[in-house]
């Protein structure tokens, strides 16, 4: 993967500016945490990145997850590769999944502790279970770059570690909006602090302590 760069990126909602102009370069293999208080512009920045890099194969795990509640967990995860399969294959999968896809997806669900929910409708799961389904879908998609918006906000200690390990292990390069700054420092190698739609801090994680990030909140 080449360097990915945003140059003087801006965003507005109905003409109201909320982001930028902001410039940021991502190097291949970098794991970046976006931190900052609620409303600072982290989701908007991830949205700008996704718009810019979707065609290069970027995967997005949005804050609202985007699951289809009436479909099973299996089918929600399967959807990550929908575009890579022919229509007839996808239609048959709706009625009766192929064994090879089940053999790929079940171990992933197992790893995230939700294998027992494989055939349950996503709408019948708890918030933390739904978040793990969305993580499984992002992992199943695969690629070079993951953009994830608060990927473990509904999970407690050990489960958030498990999901962060799985997500960051699946993608060489990642940008993760995080509200848990301690977790952000442990799982990323660069922290970008956002305040009022601008970059207020950009430092290697190993140079930062939790208290260094407090002024952003």
Ligand X SMILES: Nc1ncnc2c1ncn2[C@@H]1O[C@H](COP(=O)(O)OP(=O)(O)OP(=O)(O)O)[C@@H](O)[C@H]1O
Asked whether position 42 contacts ligand X by CB under 6 A, the answer is yes
Token pair 């999968």 is found at 93
Which residues in 13-32 contact ligand X (CB under 6 A)?
13, 18
Token pair 């996704």 is found at 50
Least distance (Å) between residue 134 CB and ligand X: 15
Asked whether position 175 contacts ligand X by CB under 6 A, the answer is no
**Residues contacting residue 144 through CB under 8 Å, at least 6 positions apart:** 1, 28, 56, 57, 58, 171, 172, 173
Binding test (CB under 6 A) with ligand X, winner from 31, 43, 160, 190: 43
173 vs 148: CA distance, rounded Å:
11
Binding test (CB under 6 A) with ligand X, winner from 4, 6, 20, 41: 41
Least distance (Å) between residue 53 CB and ligand X: 17
Least distance (Å) between residue 14 CB and ligand X: 6
Copy the structure tokens of residue 23. 């410039």
Q: Which of 89, 97, 107 is nearest to 72 (CA)?
A: 97
Least distance (Å) between residue 41 CB and ligand X: 4
Number of residues that bind ligand X (CB under 6 A): 11
Asked whether position 36 contacts ligand X by CB under 6 A, the answer is yes
Per-position x/- string for 77-96, each x denoting binding to ligand X as judged by CB under 6 A, each - no binding? --------------------
Between 164 and 193, whose beta carbon lies closer to ligand X? Answer: 193
Binding test (CB under 6 A) with ligand X, winner from 4, 6, 26, 40: 40
Between 27 and 199, whose beta carbon lies closer to ligand X? Answer: 199
- Per CB under 6 A, residues contacting ligand X are 13, 18, 36, 38-44, 63
């Amino acid at each position: 993967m080449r360097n990915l760069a945003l140059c003087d990126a801006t965003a507005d909602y109905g003409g109201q500016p909320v982001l930028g102009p902001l410039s940021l370069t991502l190097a291949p293999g970098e794991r970046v945490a976006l931190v900052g208080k609620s409303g600072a512009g982290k989701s908007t920045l991830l949205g700008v990145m996704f718009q810019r890099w979707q065609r290069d194969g970027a995967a997005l795990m949005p804050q609202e997850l985007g699951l289809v509640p009436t479909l099973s967990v299996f089918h929600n995860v399967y959807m990550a590769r929908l575009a890579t399969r022919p229509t007839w294959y996808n239609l048959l999968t709706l009625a009766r999944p192929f064994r090879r896809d089940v053999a790929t997806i079940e171990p992933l669900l197992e790893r995230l502790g939700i294998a027992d929910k494989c055939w349950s409708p996503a709408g019948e799961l708890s918030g933390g279970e739904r978040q793990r389904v969305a993580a499984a879908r992002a992992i199943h998609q695969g690629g070079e770059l993951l953009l994830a918006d608060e990927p473990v906000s509904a999970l407690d200690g050990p489960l958030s570690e498990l999901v962060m390990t799985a997500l960051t292990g699946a993608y060489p390069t990642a940008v993760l909006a995080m509200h848990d700054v301690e977790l952000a420092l442990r799982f990323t190698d660069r922290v970008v602090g956002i305040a009022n739609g601008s970059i207020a801090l950009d430092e290697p994680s190993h140079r930062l302590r939790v208290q260094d990030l407090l002024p952003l909140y």
